[in-house]
Amino acid sequence: MSAADLLGFDPFDPEFLREPYARYRELRACGAIFRTRAGLLVATTYELCAAMLRDPRFGHATGSQDDRTPDRPVESFLRMDPPDHTRLRALVSRAFTPRMLERLRPRVEAITAELIAGLPEEADLVSGFAHPLPVRVISEMLGVPPEDDERFRGWSEVLARGLDPMLTDDLMSDTERARSEFRDYFRGLVAIRRERPGDDLLSALAQVEELTEPELLATCVLLLVAGHETTVNLIANGVLNLTRHGLLAYAAERPRQVVEEVLRYDPPVQLTSRVALADLTLGGVPVQKGQAVLGLIGAANRDPAVFPEPDRFDVTREPGRHLAFGLGIHFCLGATLARMEGEIALSALAAAAPKLELPDAAPPYKENLVLRGLAALPVRLKSR
């Protein structure tokens, strides 16, 4: 079975990687919800994607904690249903309140300034700025030693690719190996923090008696991976689109509106899926219990029924109801942190390099389906 048969589009077509939104328009013309040749249901509109995300009758069907065996390791709460999801998310969310995150702002600003000051005139903005900023922030939150950043970068990239719905046997094997090595790494750190706790999130989580060790390790991996992968893409996608449209200066003037428009126009997370936990209908189409539905977030965020002139990159647009961070009980726990990092990063870069140029008009994208991000973004920093 080909990817096009399953999904209704070929996610690895170079043209699709460069610009998937034209294909999304074609798919939306097929209907608000349609069935692919392989039988997968795909929702293309804002209304149906939002309905799927909000409806408790859709979930992940990973089973309860009691159902899991050594052959079925504990998943992060990202893929859990209530009540396990509710319990674990509540424990972790204490570290992600707006007040707690606002205390991080000076540190995010300091790291941003340091990274920008260290950029050469010609640089890859992904490896030199967009990636290290959120990595350093989430690492410091967790208490991960900075010298280990490069160790887990490879693991993180493999696990991000492992989110895709279609994986080869080799990629599945790589994903399991990376997850195992990542958990072993955190197992060692947890043991150290239990003996010598510090003022970091990992130390706090290690003291929570309600968390089993497998749950704790899976949560640490999730926080480190999810805590930076989408933000890397938000920053890089933002710089690319702002520069292409000659609007970089607006990032310094109205950072909140700029970040919200980047999230709508070119979201880091392009799609998500849910499994029907009961027989139901979505958009008038019957969905049987156990059947998966794919929600095209990238298409929903450009739905003309919700966003006027959806294909226009408009940084003066009033922040709307985009689905970049999801909805419902699985709404992104790190949304506030990602927004803050994006606003600080883009506004600081715009102030420091207002005449930034793109030597490569078509920079390369990673071959990821769920996450849309640049593999590299060569830039020329001028008039800094």
Compute how many other C-beta atoms are within 10 angstroms of the C-beta atom of residue 382. 11
Average pLDDT of span 201-224:
85
Indicate the helix (H) or strand (E) that contains 106.
Answer: helix 105-117
**Domain-wise residue ranges, the chain:** 3-380
pLDDT for 52-80, tens place per residue? 999 999 998 754 444 443 334 466 677 78
Specify the range with the lowest mean pLDDT, choosing from 42-51, 109-118, 150-159: 150-159
Q: What is the pLDDT of residue 66?
A: 44
Its CATH architecture, for the domain 3-380, is: Orthogonal Bundle (1.10)
3-class secondary-structure state, position 64: coil
CA–CA gap between residue 304 and residue 311 (Å, rounded): 9
Q: In angstroms, rounded to a whole number, what is the distance separating the alpha carbons of residues 56 and 277?
A: 8
Provide the 10 A C-beta neighbour count for residue 191. Answer: 11
What would the two tokens of residue 18 be? 């460069």
pLDDT greater than 90 at residue 97: no
Question: How large a percentage of the chain has pLDDT more than 70?
Answer: 93
Of 95, 104, 94, 89, the residue nearest 340 (C-alpha): 104
Residues in the chain: 384
- Rounded Cα gap, residues 225 and 254, in angstroms: 29
Residue with tokens 């996608």: 237
Q: Return the closest-CA partner of residue 130 out of 321, 348, 335.
A: 348
**SS3 state of residue 384:** coil
What span, in angstroms and rounded, lies between the C-alpha atoms of 77 and 45? 26
The per-residue pLDDT for 20 is 95
Look up the pTM and report it.
0.90
Q: Identify the band that residue 218 occupies on the pLDDT scale cut at 50, 70 and 90.
A: confident
Q: Report whether pLDDT(215) > 50.
A: yes
Contact (Cβ atoms closer than 8 angstroms) between residue 108 and residue 359: no
Output the pLDDT for position 68.
Answer: 42
Which of 219, 78, 203 is closest to 144 using CA atoms? 203
Looking at residue 162, its pLDDT comes to 66
